[in-house]
Structure 1
């Protein structure tokens, strides 16, 4: 069965969704999380994993990829660490083959060239080659995690594009999508009005551009 809210989110860019989150007073913009290619786009439901520092002896970095449903977004919380990667070429290849929608990491990944070659979307803080093996280990899966100062729960709606990643909590997604669609409609009307000869100042005033993202009271 098609997830209609995933379809709706896919039609909206992150800037519009960000404005909708602001209008509703919600936090969902993942600070510092960027695509490894500006061509990447990602939309789907979150599958979450939390990493922690490795014990002695070290635990595993995880053999989870075979369990993830097609269309899901892998969301990995590595605490923003920049010294140890938690995603590389084997995971990219398997995820791409399985139809996983993409990967979001609060931390770094490696093997960017294969992501680009396969067109598999990866969003992270940066890229570096140093492995996470014996440095980090899986603490838990299917739990709330933190990505760019945003709480992400399993099943939350994830949308990413060239500007970054937004997270829409399941309990708020209907309100956020409705607000974003309303904002998009107004911005499209402004573009149409300008193309038909109206000044931008007049078009923005008519369609309340400057208050589209203002928090509702």
Structure 2
């Protein structure tokens, strides 16, 4: 996917993209992972990392940040653990300085004030002060990881805003984008019609609003 295509994704909100996923019968909407600031947004290709519990062999939370390309979104799975973090102030500072596009965590983050202070977007299931050191270790990067029930491959498109996060599989992204833009166009025409004095129920019926997100043949 070229930067032009990413710009088209960026122009759409997660709500419209989620509607398009519904219409196509595709996974991708991730419930429960939200930004620390509603103004935070992310849009870019995924750089993935998987965490696992530390055992007798030890291990560290990992030094991978220098391998993340500018504009990529760091997607970390700590399997939804809420008792320890995998992201904090040092990673926030380095990521921001390197032009990384943001971080999405299946788990929690700490040092939230630093993220807010410099405007670096972090999306997570919550926040905690408790370190991941000696509790979890980085099992690997560049492998498929899960955000909830959604599988994320390296290079998949991540879009996040105040409503949450959606994942567009790389091979499906353009298809989803075309449908999302068509839905957005129909909704824009409904808003324009209402602004011109048409009844909302009539405008919705004329534009087929109630079926915009429904899979063809599902009813």
Q: Using structure 2 for the length normalisation, give the TM-score.
A: 0.97
The structural deviation recorded for 1:216 is 2.7
The equivalent of 1:56 in structure 2 is 56
Q: How does 1:72-83 map to 2 (within 5 A)?
A: 72-83=72-83
The equivalent of 2:171 in structure 1 is 171
Number of residue-to-residue matches in the alignment: 217
Segments of structure 1 that go 5 or more residues without pairing to the other structure are none
Give, in whole Å, the separation in 2 of the partners of 1:5 and 1:33.
24
Kept after mapping to 2: 8 A contact 1:104/1:122: yes
The equivalent of 1:159 in structure 2 is 159
Are 1:35 and 2:20 counterparts?
no
Give, in whole Å, the separation in 2 of the partners of 1:122 and 1:138.
19
Give, in whole Å, the separation in 2 of the partners of 1:182 and 1:2.
20
* Structure 1 residue ranges, 4+ long, deviating more than 2 angstroms after superposition: none
Kept after mapping to 2: 8 A contact 1:31/1:149: no
The equivalent of 1:127 in structure 2 is 127
Give, in whole Å, the separation in 1 of the partners of 2:139 and 2:184.
40
The structural deviation recorded for 1:215 is 1.0
Give, in whole Å, the separation in 1 of the partners of 2:2 and 2:176.
19
Q: Using structure 1 for the length normalisation, give the TM-score.
A: 0.98
The equivalent of 1:8 in structure 2 is 8
SS in 1 for 2:105: strand
Give, in whole Å, the separation in 1 of the partners of 2:149 and 2:103.
17
Give, in whole Å, the separation in 2 of the partners of 1:2 and 1:22.
24
Q: How does 1:178-197 map to 2 (within 5 A)?
A: 178-197=178-197
The equivalent of 1:143 in structure 2 is 143
CA RMSD of aligned residues (A): 1.1
SS in 2 for 1:90: helix
SS in 2 for 1:71: coil
The structural deviation recorded for 1:2 is 5.5
Give, in whole Å, the separation in 2 of the partners of 1:120 and 1:6.
19
The equivalent of 1:109 in structure 2 is 109
Give, in whole Å, the separation in 1 of the partners of 2:167 and 2:156.
7
Segments of structure 2 that go 5 or more residues without pairing to the other structure are none
